[in-house]
Amino acid sequence: MTTQPVKSRLPGLLLLAAVLVLLALMPLMVNNYWLRIATGALMWAGLACSWNILGGYAGYINFGHSAFFGLGAYVTAFLMNDPFGLPFLVTVPAGMLVTAVFAVIIGAPTLRLRGAYFAIATWAFAEVLIQFASAMDFTGGIGGIGLPPYLNERFFYFAMLGAAALTYLLTWLLFERSRFGLKVKALRDHEPAAEAMGINTALVKLQTFVLSAVTASVFGAIFAYWVTFINPKSVFGGDITDQMVVMVLLGGLGSLWGPAIGGVALFVVNRLMWMYWGDTAFYIALLGAAIVLVVLFLPNGIAGLFSGRRSNALEKAAGKLVGRVDEGERP
């Protein structure tokens, strides 16, 4: 009775272990060009997961998620330059703290909204930060701000790998294996019913919002140090959030591994298009086509294909069991 669930999970665990080993050995298998592509793929997989925390598990569509990515990037750039000159590893928790404060300030009032109203409010917040960063001298204005260069591709690869792995581990522990995750899914499915059951939905939503924002800020910090130069459009731009949304929808909204599938797939396609055609303008049209195809044929994303198979198998097993009980047999 206790060994069957372990056996059923064994193929998935073996696949996960193989992927982790492959990712750990990646720097030994590819040159720096492909290692940069792998680093970017890990970043987008992690960003998609951070957006999915709020958009997928809680059901609040955030069109301003790039604001938190940009906050992490700018805090790192600001603290690593004069007059502070702090080391990178110190700036990451500082960016997380600043982002958490902003998330509480913004989330407390906006999470009272739902649907399009919440989406517009978060989009407006990101636009405000773009204008603010473009107008202030200490951010470098429109011209942007540089960071001290560190030419070590392996460092940034493992930094992105570690951040992505921790993001998915945290998501799995909190939203797939804890009571907190059940509360979040309950308010997503029916918020009034969740409140009637005694769940403090306002607090749960705010906690989820802050967690989603803080994880995005970590990737923003690593990205800024990696590319050594940022400007308001490159880290606060709406296209950053748009790509996260499409990646999650393609992979599977509200699933654990869906964001990783969608994030890696779309980023690799983007880089291949740039490699062979020297232009990614067609990528925007590809994003639109991906949204249409997902809505029409894959409403649960690519990950839904596999979960659907498991659900069908469970339904068949349950049907057989019910039939045997109806016939008077003992299960």
Tens of pLDDT, residue by residue over 233-281, are 999 999 899 899 989 998 999 999 999 999 999 899 888 888 877 666 6
Q: How far is CA 305 from CA 9, 49, 300, 301, 324, in A?
A: 17, 19, 8, 7, 29
Is position 295 within any domain?
A: no
Q: How far is CA 226 from CA 53, 90, 144, in A?
A: 25, 16, 15
pLDDT higher than threshold 70 for residue 324? no
Is position 267 within any domain?
A: no
pLDDT band at 285 (very low <50, low <70, confident <90, very high): confident
Asked which of 237, 264, 298 is the last residue of a domain, the reply is 237
Residue 8 is predicted with a pLDDT of 61
Question: Do 45 and 122 sit in the same domain of this protein?
Answer: yes
Question: Do 78 and 205 sit in the same domain of this protein?
Answer: yes
Question: Do 16 and 151 sit in the same domain of this protein?
Answer: no
Question: Do 15 and 45 sit in the same domain of this protein?
Answer: no
Question: Do 138 and 158 sit in the same domain of this protein?
Answer: yes
**What value does the mean pLDDT of the chain take?**
87
Residue 318 is predicted with a pLDDT of 36
pLDDT higher than threshold 70 for residue 42? yes
| Whole-number Å distance between alpha carbons of 318 and 68 | 45
pLDDT band at 6 (very low <50, low <70, confident <90, very high): low
Question: Do 24 and 83 sit in the same domain of this protein?
Answer: no
| Whole-number Å distance between alpha carbons of 231 and 238 | 13
Is position 259 within any domain?
A: no
Residue 304 is predicted with a pLDDT of 76
Is position 115 within any domain?
A: yes
3-state DSSP percent of the chain in helix, strand and coil, to 5: 80, 0, 20
**Of the ranges 4-13, 25-34, 152-161, 303-312, which is most confident?**
152-161
Return the amino acid letter for 257.
W
Is position 257 within any domain?
A: no
Q: How many CB atoms lie within 10 A of CB 171?
A: 23
**CB contact at 8 A, 64 and 110:** no
Residue 329 is predicted with a pLDDT of 41
Query: How big is the CA angle at 307 (ends 214 and 323), to the nearest 5 degrees?
Result: 140
Strands 145-146 and 229-230: antiparallel
Tally of structural domains, the chain: 2
pLDDT higher than threshold 70 for residue 215? yes
Question: Do 12 and 77 sit in the same domain of this protein?
Answer: no
**CB contact at 8 A, 250 and 305:** no
Q: What is the extent of the structural domain holding 13? A: 1-30
Question: Do 81 and 117 sit in the same domain of this protein?
Answer: yes
Question: Do 16 and 138 sit in the same domain of this protein?
Answer: no
* Number of helical H runs and strand E runs in the chain: 14, 2
pTM: 0.88
Asked which of 202, 237, 272 is the last residue of a domain, the reply is 237
Question: Do 137 and 26 sit in the same domain of this protein?
Answer: no
Question: Do 115 and 6 sit in the same domain of this protein?
Answer: no
Question: Do 3 and 137 sit in the same domain of this protein?
Answer: no
Return the amino acid letter for 266.
L
pLDDT band at 2 (very low <50, low <70, confident <90, very high): very low
